[in-house]
Amino acid sequence: GAGDIKARIDDLKNEKESVAVLLFQVKDDKVTIAAGIKNAPLKAGAWIKEIAPIVGGGGGGRDDFAQAGGKDASKIDEAKAAAIAYATLILQGN
């Protein structure tokens, strides 16, 4: 469930000095998205708000952790591309 995806992000944050990660999990046509940030200029809540609507969902959270649910798993590839594009822009300082 959503606990698994959060645990994975917590693990990554514990392992690394600096991390920006956004994970997708699909189960029964439902999409769970979670974002985790540690010592990086991205804000998890803002990142999720940018990506969740692509998969027909919404959500948000804190600067360091956020999650959202969506109902259109067919748009995952599009959402992944958008997530990378958004992160790249922010990390380049735009």
> Tell me: the pLDDT tens digits for 23-57?
999 998 899 999 999 999 999 999 999 999 999 99
HEC-encoded secondary structure of 47-62:
HHHHHHHHHCCEEEEC
Sorted by sequence, the CB contacts under 8 Å of residue 43 that are 6+ apart come out as 37, 63
**What are the DSSP E strand ranges found in the chain?**
19-27, 30-38, 58-61, 65-70
What tokens does 20 get? 């920006």
pLDDT tens digits along 1-28 = 567 899 999 999 999 999 999 999 999 8
Model confidence pLDDT, tens digit, residues 58-83: 999 999 999 999 999 999 999 999 99
What sign does the CA torsion over 55, 53, 77, 40 have? negative
How confident is the model at residue 3, as a pLDDT? 77
Q: Would you state the pLDDT for residue 2?
A: 62
Position 64 scores a pLDDT of: 96
Query: Which two structure tokens, joined as six digits, stand for 85?
Result: 């594009």
